[in-house]
């Protein structure tokens, strides 16, 4: 009886989820969603969102750098994204004399804008279903025989589509090999920094507030895209001119409130909505706890050290931020998966799927086969997690990856990357961390994943601590000075104990782990293809009403929902909009994460908000139930008319299981209110001229 109830509840809950519109929709198919979107407040048409025969909003969205999203906001190439997306390029321009991270940066004219070699933005020209072309000639072949034909078909499709043009193209799969799409991009490589607030605004709240609501982070940065005189992409040149985009967003200062339609248009990187129950169990019971524990060890040491010395705080701030970001996300994800009982729901669903599939040869064995493959991969993928998060997380070991081939025939000059590394390196901290990480690895990982030579050395040294002490005492890689003198003495760096340690693990990984992971992953992928197709048939047979969308794969997607508060715990209701009052309440000159610029204090004291005043304050951030993920950082948040109302930059941590299962009750994306962006630009940056360049509209959303 309990089981039946669970199955019914499960099917119902899938209906509930699909009705509540988790989903990252494919722009070229948005027509299929547009009725639903319009019923929730969308005023524009499918063709306004995505078109290839005319300018549409897709032409105003860019894939920024390696992993973020950005949006065009003027006819003169002006673009917005997040501060945390532009952080590393801004850092390269910063020095002690010009600390743009600390003080902010505002180009007061176009000559002052800062070029960034290597940084690109990509505009999606079009996306097309090329499934038939990719599968051509593979009928009746085994999966492995088909693989090479598919690969050459993909090459051919790319050639046919962009050969002889200045466009680039990618072919990516949707639904695990069931569909293939080609994505054609125009790639611009002259992208200059225009403006950034000081970190005390752009990173306000730091790690404490990261993934949290209520939030008050002014996480934005301006860039400008430049083109050749023909408006086509061109390498950096003084003669380049601002790119004239086919489309840019109008900016709405009309405001938003609870229940208003919102839409996020951007590049989510990866979700796993169709992950098999055993895969979720691996995440929840093994991978996340292991990774969280290992990162906790690192963070504890860094935090202890930085309290004792402000120089360490600066040197380790970027490292700490990147360790802490996923660490916090995984904790929220685990809580969310437990709360939703995702594993039990998936197991119940898979059981009824198996019963349904009993008479269907195509799907009959897919569930049991998936289970078997997950059993086979389990030890290897856990070993891989431990290797990455314990062994290769030791900074002394990372040196091997940075220096790489140079170690074999080192020249006098230490490679730049390596000197940069030493600029922020404290071997004493690393040594303490290494002891903990290695001990944890030795204690948790089966013997066969411990290289013999390391096991022996540890034994000879009389334990992990003494072994690590020896490693740091005798390695030349612990400091630039030691390394320089080793080179001067013509020591063979390939015999350095840290190098030996690194290669012992790298070789073990290559011999004993890598191949297995590749093999079982490929098997899982192949089964997943059948399973996803089967789920569509199964749900259709059962009339569950579940609406399928492809997992995020770092291609352009639309998600929509509404501005929405939520209840994080019993008797508590979070309102959806934060204001300047919250910033002032958190302001604390003694806490570097919460120490706002004096100018902002003064503006607040005099309530001098000018045209940005709303009910006597300034709105800062808002939450909504749009389904987003990593990569959506910097995405435009639009109202029903397609006007820019905000910039997406985060989710609430307890809702990050939305990468596996979305829960409309508590999953919230966090956006910066565009009015706070304009307020900071004008009042803090003194760069009001940028606002003159934009098209500001004051329309109400409704």
Rule CB under 6 A: which residues touch ligand ARG?
84, 207, 210-211, 321, 324-325, 630, 633, 650
Distance CA 493, CA 472 (A): 14
**C-beta of residue 230 within 8 angstroms of C-beta of residue 622:** no
Nearer to ligand GLU, 451 or 631 (CB): 631
Q: Is the dihedral of CA 175, 23, 636, 677 positive or negative?
A: negative
The verdict on whether 633 is a catalytic residue reads: yes
Q: Work out how close the CB of 660 gets to ligand ARG at its nearest, in angstroms, rounded to a whole number.
A: 16
Nearer to ligand ARG, 87 or 249 (CB): 87
- For position 173 contacting ligand GLU by CB under 6 A, the verdict is no
Nearer to ligand GLU, 332 or 642 (CB): 332
Catalytically annotated residue among 28, 59, 84, 277: 84
Q: Work out how close the CB of 131 gets to ligand ARG at its nearest, in angstroms, rounded to a whole number.
A: 32
What tokens were used for 97? Answer: 């004399």
Q: Work out how close the CB of 83 gets to ligand GLU at its nearest, in angstroms, rounded to a whole number.
A: 11
DSSP category for residue 71: E
**Out of ligand ARG, ligand GLU, none, which partner does residue 628 contact, by CB within 5 to 8 A per kind?**
ligand GLU
3-state secondary structure of 224: strand
Segment lying near ligand GLU (by CB under 6 A), choices 475-483, 552-560, 631-639, 679-687: 631-639
Rule CB under 6 A: which of 100-129 touch ligand GLU? none
**C-beta of residue 647 within 8 angstroms of C-beta of residue 81:** yes
With CB under 6 A as the rule, give the number of residues binding ligand GLU. Answer: 9
Segment lying near ligand GLU (by CB under 6 A), choices 24-32, 223-231, 307-315, 644-652: 644-652
Q: Work out how close the CB of 419 gets to ligand ARG at its nearest, in angstroms, rounded to a whole number.
A: 25
Taking phi first (over 0 means left), then psi (-120 to 50 degrees means alpha), and beta for anything else, what does residue 267 get?
A: beta
- For position 631 contacting ligand GLU by CB under 6 A, the verdict is yes
Which of 113, 282, 650, 663 touches ligand GLU (CB under 6 A)? 650
**Out of ligand GLU, ligand ARG, none, which partner does residue 537 contact, by CB within 5 to 8 A per kind?**
none
**Out of ligand GLU, ligand ARG, none, which partner does residue 146 contact, by CB within 5 to 8 A per kind?**
none
Segment lying near ligand GLU (by CB under 6 A), choices 118-126, 627-635, 672-680, 686-694: 627-635
| Nearest position to ligand ARG, beta carbon | 321
- For position 633 contacting ligand GLU by CB under 6 A, the verdict is yes
Nearer to ligand GLU, 86 or 410 (CB): 86
**Out of ligand ARG, ligand GLU, none, which partner does residue 27 contact, by CB within 5 to 8 A per kind?**
none
3-state secondary structure of 322: helix
**C-beta of residue 586 within 8 angstroms of C-beta of residue 216:** yes
Radius of gyration of the chain (CA): 27
**Out of ligand GLU, ligand ARG, none, which partner does residue 631 contact, by CB within 5 to 8 A per kind?**
ligand GLU
Distance CA 444, CA 289 (A): 12
Catalytically annotated residue among 74, 475, 633, 671: 633
Nearer to ligand GLU, 555 or 629 (CB): 629
For residue 50, how many C-alpha atoms fall within 13 Å in the half-sphere facing its CB?
21
Q: Work out how close the CB of 7 gets to ligand GLU at its nearest, in angstroms, rounded to a whole number.
A: 31
Bridge-based pairing state of the strands 619-624 and 669-673: antiparallel
3-state secondary structure of 194: strand
Nearer to ligand ARG, 245 or 636 (CB): 636
Bridge-based pairing state of the strands 251-252 and 696-697: parallel
Q: At a CB cut-off of 8 Å and minimum separation 6, what does 442 contact?
A: 450, 458, 464
Q: What share of the chain is helix, strand, coil (3-state, %, to 5)?
A: 50, 15, 35
From the CB of residue 81, how many other CB atoms can be counted at a distance below 10 Å? 26
| Nearest position to ligand GLU, beta carbon | 633
Q: Work out how close the CB of 1 gets to ligand GLU at its nearest, in angstroms, rounded to a whole number.
A: 39
**C-beta of residue 563 within 8 angstroms of C-beta of residue 623:** yes
Taking phi first (over 0 means left), then psi (-120 to 50 degrees means alpha), and beta for anything else, what does residue 156 get?
A: alpha
Catalytically annotated residue among 219, 260, 496, 539: 219
Q: What is the DSSP string of 255-288?
A: ---TT-EEEEEE------TT--HHHHHIIIIIIH
**Out of ligand ARG, ligand GLU, none, which partner does residue 223 contact, by CB within 5 to 8 A per kind?**
none
Bridge-based pairing state of the strands 261-266 and 251-252: unpaired
Nearer to ligand GLU, 66 or 515 (CB): 66
| Helix axes 288-308 and 366-386, enclosed angle (nearest 10) | 20
- For position 630 contacting ligand GLU by CB under 6 A, the verdict is yes
Nearer to ligand ARG, 451 or 634 (CB): 634
Which of 629, 654, 671, 681 touches ligand GLU (CB under 6 A)? 629
Which of 578, 632, 652, 681 touches ligand GLU (CB under 6 A)? 632
Q: What is the DSSP string of 4-67?
A: HHHHHHHHHHHHHHHHHT---B-GGGTHHHHHHHHHTT--S-HHHHS-SSS--GGGGEEEETTT
**C-beta of residue 116 within 8 angstroms of C-beta of residue 225:** no
**Out of ligand GLU, ligand ARG, none, which partner does residue 564 contact, by CB within 5 to 8 A per kind?**
none
Distance CA 292, CA 290 (A): 6
- With tokens 């390391």, the residue in question is 454
Nearer to ligand GLU, 56 or 628 (CB): 628
Q: At a CB cut-off of 8 Å and minimum separation 6, what does 515 contact?
A: none
Residues of this chain that interact with ligand GLU (CB under 6 A) are: 628-633, 649-651
Q: Which residues are catalytic?
A: 84, 219, 633
């Amino acid at each position: 009886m309990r089981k039946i109830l669970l199955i019914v509840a499960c099917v119902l809950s899938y209906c509930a989820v699909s009705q509540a519109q988790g989903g990252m929709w494919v722009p070229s198919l948005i027509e299929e969603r547009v009725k639903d979107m319009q019923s929730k407040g969308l005023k524009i048409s499918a063709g306004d969102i995505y078109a290839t025969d005319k300018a549409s909003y897709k032409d105003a969205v860019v894939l920024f750098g390696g992993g973020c999203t950005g949006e065009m906001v003027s006819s003169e190439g002006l673009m917005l994204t997040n501060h945390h997306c532009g952080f590393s390029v801004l850092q390269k321009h910063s020095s002690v004399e010009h600390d743009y991270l600390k003080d902010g940066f505002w180009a007061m004219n176009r000559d002052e804008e800062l070029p960034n070699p290597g940084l690109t933005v990509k505009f999606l020209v079009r996306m097309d279903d090329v499934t038939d072309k990719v599968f051509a000639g593979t009928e009746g072949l085994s999966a492995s025989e088909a693989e090479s034909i598919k690969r050459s078909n993909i090459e051919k499709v790319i050639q046919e589509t962009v050969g002889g043009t200045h466009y680039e193209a990618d072919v990516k799969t949707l639904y695990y090999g069931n569909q293939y799409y080609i994505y054609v991009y125009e790639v611009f490589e002259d992208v200059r920094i225009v403006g950034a607030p000081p970190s005390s605004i752009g990173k306000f709240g730091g790690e404490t507030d990261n993934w949290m609501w209520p939030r008050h982070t002014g996480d934005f940065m301006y860039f400008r895209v430049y083109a050749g005189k023909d408006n086509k992409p061109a390498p950096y040149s003084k003669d380049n001119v601002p790119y004239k985009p086919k489309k840019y967003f109008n900016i709405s200062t009309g405001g938003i409130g609870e229940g208003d339609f919102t839409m996020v248009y951007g590049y989510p990187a990866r979700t796993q909505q169709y992950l098999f129950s055993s895969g979720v169990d691996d995440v929840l019971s093994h991978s996340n706890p292991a990774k969280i524990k290992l990162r906790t060890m690192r963070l504890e040491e860094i935090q202890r050290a930085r309290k004792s010395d402000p120089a360490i705080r600066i040197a380790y701030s970027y490292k700490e931020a990147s360790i802490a970001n996923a660490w916090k996300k995984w904790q929220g994800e685990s809580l969310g998966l437990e709360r939703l009982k995702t594993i039990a729901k998936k197991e119940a669903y898979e059981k009824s799927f198996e019963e349904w599939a009993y008479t269907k040869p195509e799907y009959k064995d897919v569930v049991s086969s998936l289970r078997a493959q997950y059993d086979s991969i389990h030890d290897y993928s856990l070993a891989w997690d431990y290797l990455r998060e314990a062994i290769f997380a030791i900074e002394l070991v990372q040196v091997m990856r940075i220096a790489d081939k140079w170690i074999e025939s080192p020249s006098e000059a230490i490679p730049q990357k390596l000197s940069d590394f030493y600029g922020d390196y404290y071997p004493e901290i690393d040594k303490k961390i290494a002891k903990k990480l290695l001990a944890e690895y030795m204690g948790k990982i089966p013997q066969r994943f411990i290289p013999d030579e390391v096991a022996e050395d540890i034994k000879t040294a009389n334990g992990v601590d003494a072994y690590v002490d020896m490693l740091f005492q005798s390695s030349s890689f612990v400091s630039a000075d030691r390394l320089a003198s080793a080179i001067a003495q013509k020591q063979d760096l390939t015999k350095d104990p840290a190098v030996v340690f690194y290669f012992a693990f790298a070789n073990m990984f290559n011999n004993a782990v890598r191949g297995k992971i590749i093999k079982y992953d490929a098997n899982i992928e192949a089964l997943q293809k059948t399973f996803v197709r089967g789920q569509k048939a199964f749900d259709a047979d059962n009339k569950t009403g579940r609406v399928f969308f492809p997992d995020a794969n770092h291609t352009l997607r639309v998600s929509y929902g509404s501005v929405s508060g939520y209840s994080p715990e019993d008797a508590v209701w979070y309102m959806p909009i934060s204001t300047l009052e919250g910033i002032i309440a958190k302001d604390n000159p003694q806490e570097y994460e919460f120490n706002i610029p004096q100018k902002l204090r003064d503006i607040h004291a005099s309530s001098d908000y000018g045209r940005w005043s709303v009910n006597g304050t300034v709105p800062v951030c808002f939450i909504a139930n749009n389904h987003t993920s990593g990569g959506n950082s910097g995405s435009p948040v639009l109202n029903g008319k397609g006007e820019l109302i905000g910039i997406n930059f985060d989710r609430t941590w307890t809702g990050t299981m939305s990468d596996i299962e979305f829960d409309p009750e508590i999953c919230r994306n966090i956006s910066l209110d565009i009015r706070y962006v304009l307020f900071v630009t004008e009042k803090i940056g003194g760069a009001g001229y940028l606002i003159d360049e934009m098209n500001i509209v004051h329309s109400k959303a409704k």
